[in-house]
Chains A and B, each alone.
Chain A
Amino acid sequence: RKEVEQDPGPFNVPEGATVAFNCTYSNSASQSFFWYRQDCRKEPKLLMSVYSSGNEDGRFTAQLNRASQYISLLIRDSKLSDSATYLCVSGGGYNKLIFGAGTRLAVHP
């Protein structure tokens, strides 16, 4: 079983749609969680950290459920510019990040 699992997609959605990505992690000792965004042929960029209380940044909301070892990302009012791969990441200790395989999102007009 992979340490971080996410649906690879692709998710094809129209502009303005709401889309949700889910991710599960296997290491119950993980303390840090992140969503990174990666555009084609570019580096991963931090989208947001994920906290137990949930956090929101504009159109993006991240949730963490420690009991179920589950992380989610909700994108509201999708824009064309949201098209990218979204990487679910858990902290593996010793300054290591454990990456999921990524979920591809394509937003169309």
Chain B
Amino acid sequence: DTEVTQTPKHLVMGMTNKKSLKCEQHMGHRAMYWYKQKAKKPPELMFVYSYEKLSINESVPSRFSPECPNSSLLNLHLHALQPEDSALYLCASSPIRTSGTDTQYFGPGTRLTVL
């Protein structure tokens, strides 16, 4: 099973709302990722969790707050977002290699619209 699931599929929120995006994988992968993708652009890395610990934060604004409750789950908490944050948010997971970089498997994404 190479499936990563994400909920919700679509989300519309106001700038004062608080919402959360959820991601789950059962492939035993110990690395999980959040990406942001704008139209006609490649995915842009936001956060990396390795062994449930935050290992990379690509200078993401604090209105995005990641959380990794266990090795299968990854959340992204959203608060006070701006309209320019509207995008497709992709979760991915991968095994962890000691050298090189392994294949990442992506979830279907959450399409976020901020009004």
Contacts and interface: CB of A to CB of B under 8 A. Distances in A.
Contacts of A91: 100-101
Contacts, number: 55
Contact of A92 (B33, B96, B101, B108): B101
Q: Which of A43, A93, A94, A95 has the most C-beta atoms of chain B within 10 angstroms of its own C-beta?
A: A95
A25 interface: no
B17 to A, nearest CB: 24
Contacts of B33: 95
Given A94-B48, A95-B31, A43 B107 contact: yes
Contacts of B97: 95
Interface in B21-61: 31, 33, 41-43, 45, 48, 50, 55-56
A105 to B, nearest CB: 14
Interface centre among B42, B50, B111 (most CB of A within 10 A): B42
A30 B19 CA distance: 37
Nearest to A91: B101
A31 to B, nearest CB: 4
A43 B101 contact: no
Nearest to A87: B42
B109 interface: yes
B9 to A, nearest CB: 11
A73 B50 CA distance: 31
Interface residues of B, number: 27
B71 interface: no
Contacts of A95: 31, 33, 48, 50, 55-56, 94, 96-97, 101-102
A26 interface: no
Contacts of A45: 106
A42 interface: yes
Interface stretch (A13-21, A75-83, A96-104): A96-104
Contacts of A102: 42
Interface of A: 31-32, 34, 41-46, 49, 87, 91-97, 99-102
Which are the 8 A-B pairs with shortest beta-carbon distances? A91-B101, A99-B42, A31-B100, A43-B106, A32-B101, A32-B100, A95-B31, A43-B108
